[in-house]
A and B are shown apart, each in its own frame.
Chain A
C-alpha cells in the first residue's frame, strides 16, 4: 500500500506562532497554497516585533551571536529540505555560511563602528552603535533563500527586530526558514515573516509609524515617500552580499559625553 504523504500548510510567522492569515486568504505559488497576509496581519507582526525589540537589543552581543550561530546549525540540519526550495545545495550552503559570518559580527561591531572621540576639552566622549529598532524588509524576489538571509542577517546582527515580506514568487524557503528560526533560540517576535502579495503589503509596511527602517528590494518612489512620514531610514539591500556596513545601515550611533575631573 502506498502511503499518502502529509502535506504542509504554509502559514505566516508572527510573534513566534504560525497563524493563517486573519483574512482567510491564500494565493498559489510554487504549486502550493500560501497564506496571503493582510494589512491586519502586518500590523500584528509589527506589534509582535516591537514587543520583542527590547529583549533582543538588551541581550549581550555575545549571546546574540550564539543565537545566530544556532540558526546556522539548524539550517545545516535542514540542508536537504531548504535545497528543494531554492536553487539547490550550493545556495543553502552559502546562506548558512553567511549566517555564521554575521554571527561573528555581533560582538565586533561596536569596535569597528564606534570608539572614543578625542574632544578638545575635559570630557570623556564615546560613540556606540545601537539598533535602529523595528526594520521592515521587503525581501528580494530571488535568490529565494540567500536573498532573504542576506537581508535578514545584518538586521539581526545589529540587534534589530524584523518584519519581513517574503518573496511573492518563492515564499516556501521563507516559511521553511521561519521553522528554523522557531527552533533556534531566536526569541518570539524578533523575526516575523509574512507571505502574500508584495504590492499589497509593502505600502502598509512603508507607512507604518512604528517601523523605524525599511529595507527595500528596489527603488520605489511610492514606498519611499510613505517612509518619510516618520523619517524612516530607507535602505536598498543587496540580494547577495555581506558587509559590516550592511549592518551599519540599521544602527544608530549614540555619542555620550561626561566631564573628567577630580
Chain B
C-alpha cells in the first residue's frame, strides 16, 4: 500500500509558514522587576529541526533567582496585593488579547524553538494559552463566589517550573491562575524552549503589568533547583518528570509550603470491539503522535480488544504511512522534530529495549531531514505488561499495543502503572463508557475522543502523576490560602 502511494508520487508541495514575523534578539537576559537583567552566564538555544542556533539566553545563578524572588516579593507587598481584584482582572484580559493579536508570531517562534508542527502551535497552543488568560481573568474578582465561607487570599510569591512540550501553554496554565488569585510569580521555562516565555515578557510590557508581578529566569536544572530551594517562595508549582517531581517534594519536606505537581503518565487508550474503528484510529494517532508524543497525558499504551486487534492494527499502520514528518514550519507537517538530542537519545534507548524484550516494531517508510532530531512514528505490537515500553514513559512518538478480552481485564491492565494521569475509552455502549470511566485511576478520561484541553476543565493526575489540578475553579485553589488552613 505504502509503496504504491510512494510510486504514484503522492507528495505534498512544501507550504512553509514565514519566519519573517519573528524578530529575535541575539541575546536575552532574565526578566526581573520589569527590566532585563544581564545574565552572568549564557547558553545557546537551538532549533531542534535544523540544529541552527537561535539566540543566547541566560543561565540564571542563585543570585539571579534571588533577585527575581525579591522583585516578586516587593511587587506583591507594595502594589499587587493592594490592587482591586477587578483591576487585576483587567491586566489578565489585556494579556489574553495581546496573545491573540500576536498569535502568529508566538506560534512561529514556538515551532522554531521547540520543533512542534506549526499547525499545532497555531491551532492548539496559542488559542488555548490566550483562552487560559481570558478564563482566569474573569475569576480574579469572583474568588469569594468560588470559595464561599473560606475567605480566600493569595499565598504570596509563586515559584513555577514548566516543561518544554507546550512552552507557552504551560506558562499560561501556571501564570494565569497565580495572578488571578493575587500572587506574584517567578517562572522558569524549560532549558530547551525559553524563547516564547521571553517574548511573553514583551506582552507584559505592552500590558503595562506592574514591574515584578511576573519575573522570568531562564536556565537548566541548576536554576530550577535554586528556585525550589529559595526560602522566599510561598507556593511551588511544577510540571515535568515524575523523577524531578519527587526530588522537589523531598526538597520541600518540612517547609510548610504549598506544592502542586503535574508529572508523567503512561495512559491506556482502550478500544472495545464495538468502537467505530476509523474514528478510533484517528483518536489513537492523535493520542500518541500529537506533538511527537511529547505529551504527559499521551495515549502511549493501546489496549485493544483481542477480537479486533488485527483489523485495528492494519488500519493504524496504513494511517501511519500517511503521517507527514518533517519541517515544523511546514503547514502540512503532522509530526515535527524531537525536542532535543537528549530526548531523542532517551526515545532511541527505550525503543531498542522494546525490540530487545521481544516486541514487534513497525515503522512506516519515512524520509527524515538530514539535520535535526527526528524519530519515525513507531508502533510496537506483541507488548507484554512487564516490558519497559509498557511501563516507562517514553515521551516520544512510540505506541505500545497490548490486548485484552474482558472489560475487567482492560481495567486491570489500564491501572497497572504507577502513573494515573489520563485514559481513553472507545466504545459505542454508553453504560460501558461510564463503567470504565469510574474505574480508571486517572485524572482525565477521554471517551470516544482524546487529548482535548480547555481552561474550564480541571487537569491533573492520580498516584505518581502528581497532585493538584490546573484549569477550572479547581486550578485556583492551590494559589490561595483559606480560613481552614489557619493563620492570616
Chain A residues within CB distance 8 Å of chain B: 117-121, 123, 125, 127, 132, 212, 219-225, 227-231, 233, 238, 241, 243, 245-246, 252-259
**Across the interface, do B457 and A220 meet the contact criterion of CB distance under 8 Å?**
no
Report whether over half of chain A's contact residues are helix, strand or loop; otherwise say mixed.
Answer: mixed
Q: List 24 A-B contacts (CB under 8 A).
A: A117-B456, A117-B472, A118-B456, A121-B454, A127-B457, A127-B474, A219-B254, A221-B253, A223-B253, A224-B250, A224-B254, A228-B247, A229-B246, A231-B246, A231-B249, A231-B467, A238-B484, A241-B484, A245-B150, A246-B484, A254-B462, A257-B444, A257-B452, A258-B449
**Across the interface, do B433 and A258 meet the contact criterion of CB distance under 8 Å?**
yes
The 5 A-B pairs of least Cβ separation, nearest first, read A221-B254, A224-B253, A228-B249, A119-B454, A225-B253
**Across the interface, do A119 and B452 meet the contact criterion of CB distance under 8 Å?**
yes
Complex partner residue of A228 from B250, B255, B444, B447, CB under 8 angstroms: B250
Chain B residues within CB distance 8 Å of chain A: 131, 150, 242, 245-247, 249-250, 252-256, 261, 263, 418, 433, 437, 440, 442-449, 452, 454, 456-460, 462-467, 469, 472, 474, 482, 484, 486
| A233 vs B465: C-alpha distance when bound (angstroms) | 11
**Across the interface, do B433 and A245 meet the contact criterion of CB distance under 8 Å?**
no
Closest residue of chain B to A116, judged by CB? B456
Residues in A neighbouring B440, C-beta threshold 8 A: 254
Residues in A neighbouring B246, C-beta threshold 8 A: 228-229, 231
Q: Assuming A121-B454, A225-B253, A228-B246, is B459 touching A255 (CB within 8 A)?
A: yes
**Across the interface, do B462 and A252 meet the contact criterion of CB distance under 8 Å?**
yes
Q: Assuming A230-B463, A233-B467, is B458 touching A117 (CB within 8 A)?
A: yes
Complex partner residue of B464 from A119, A230, A243, CB under 8 angstroms: A230
| A70 vs B307: C-alpha distance when bound (angstroms) | 48
Q: Assuming A221-B253, A231-B242, A245-B484, is B443 touching A255 (CB within 8 A)?
A: yes
Residues in A neighbouring B465, C-beta threshold 8 A: 231
**Across the interface, do A254 and B443 meet the contact criterion of CB distance under 8 Å?**
yes
**Min CB gap A5→B, angstroms:** 43
Residues in B neighbouring A227, C-beta threshold 8 A: 249, 253
Complex partner residue of A255 from B433, B444, B482, CB under 8 angstroms: B444
| A229 vs B249: C-alpha distance when bound (angstroms) | 9
| A118 vs B472: C-alpha distance when bound (angstroms) | 10
Complex partner residue of A120 from B263, B454, B462, CB under 8 angstroms: B454
Which of B245, B246, B255, B474 counts the most A-chain CB atoms under 10 A from its CB? B474
**Across the interface, do B463 and A220 meet the contact criterion of CB distance under 8 Å?**
no
**Across the interface, do A219 and B256 meet the contact criterion of CB distance under 8 Å?**
yes
| A259 vs B280: C-alpha distance when bound (angstroms) | 13
Complex partner residue of A257 from B263, B445, B472, CB under 8 angstroms: B445
Closest residue of chain A to B246, judged by CB? A228
Closest residue of chain A to B424, judged by CB? A257
| A121 vs B466: C-alpha distance when bound (angstroms) | 27
Which of B242, B446, B457, B460 counts the most A-chain CB atoms under 10 A from its CB? B457
**Min CB gap A148→B, angstroms:** 19
Q: Assuming A117-B454, A125-B457, A230-B418, is B463 touching A257 (CB within 8 A)?
A: no
**Min CB gap B335→A, angstroms:** 23
| A237 vs B247: C-alpha distance when bound (angstroms) | 24
Residues in B neighbouring A119, C-beta threshold 8 A: 452, 454, 456-457
**Across the interface, do A127 and B472 meet the contact criterion of CB distance under 8 Å?**
yes
**Across the interface, do A231 and B245 meet the contact criterion of CB distance under 8 Å?**
yes
Closest residue of chain B to A124, judged by CB? B447
Given contacts A123-B449, A255-B457, 13 further A-B contacts (CB under 8 A): A132-B462, A220-B254, A221-B254, A222-B254, A223-B253, A224-B252, A231-B249, A231-B463, A254-B444, A254-B445, A254-B462, A255-B459, A257-B447
**Min CB gap A48→B, angstroms:** 20
Residues in B neighbouring A257, C-beta threshold 8 A: 444-447, 449, 452, 457
**Min CB gap B457→A, angstroms:** 5
**Min CB gap A18→B, angstroms:** 32
**Min CB gap A195→B, angstroms:** 26
Q: Assuming A219-B256, A238-B484, A258-B433, is B458 touching A127 (CB within 8 A)?
A: yes
Closest residue of chain A to B434, judged by CB? A256
